[in-house]
Amino acid sequence: ISECFEASMSSWCFTYAVRDLGLAKAKAAMLPSAFYLSFTAARVAMVPVIDRFVPSTLTNVAVALTLCGALGFYILTSTFLQQRSLGREVDDLEFLYRSLLGCLVFLGASTCPIFAAMWASVRRHGELTAAEQGRYDTCVNFGMTAGMWVPGLAPLPKVELVGALMIFLILSSHRRDFPWLEDKNNRLHLP
């Protein structure tokens, strides 16, 4: 699902901004750029952080922040569309546009560690068998395919919000694999 989140943003953000929000192409191109620049910068920033926390904690924090960012993206785009339906021109919505850029910077940075931290959390139970690795890789590829396909059927902000909510619910239902608090020796610290 996390791969779906990234793929849908890279495949559909520009199209959504031009077609649905009515942005000029130059402004629309800034949206996926903001997402991926912050995503890349977060990769660099995560290097010292990864050694300080166990993967399950990073996964949970990243998913919670991504859910907040996806909710913000949904609210901002809904507000933008509402203002456009009331007859406001795109140029009059500069504050909303800049807020949307900021939201996508936040979303890119929060989404960045999910895949790697989730993979490390899964591997804490030991090496995966070939069959387990195959199922995992199949799910990753299915997520990427869904991310490129589903936003063609449903609005991008809804896809992002539902995807983030699904990741959050999956992690919440698998506390054994993704505990919030755990030390480096795999001892759980329950609140």
pLDDT at 129: 78
Q: What is the pLDDT of residues 48-62, one digit of tens each?
A: 887 777 888 888 889
Convert the pLDDT of each residue in 58-103 to its tens digit.
Answer: 888 898 999 999 999 999 999 999 999 999 999 999 999 999 999 9
**pLDDT attached to residue 189:** 43
Query: What is the 3 state secondary structure string of the chain?
Result: CHHHHHHHHHHHHHHHHHHCCCCCHHHHHHHHHHHHHHHHHHHHHHHHHHCCCCHHHHHHHHHHHHHHHHHHHHHHHHHHHHHHHCCCCHHHHHHHHHHHHHHHHHHHHHHCCHHHHHHHHHHCCCCCCHHHHHHHHHHHHHHHHHHHHHHHCCCHHHHHHHHHHHHHHHHHHCCCCCCCCECCCCCECCC
pLDDT score, position 118:
79
> What confidence score (pLDDT) does residue 142 get?
76
User: Considering the entire predicted model, what is its pTM?
Assistant: 0.82
Quick one: pLDDT at residue 188?
A: 44
Percent of the chain scoring above 70 in pLDDT: 86
Which residues in the chain land under pLDDT 70? 1-2, 4, 124-126, 174-191
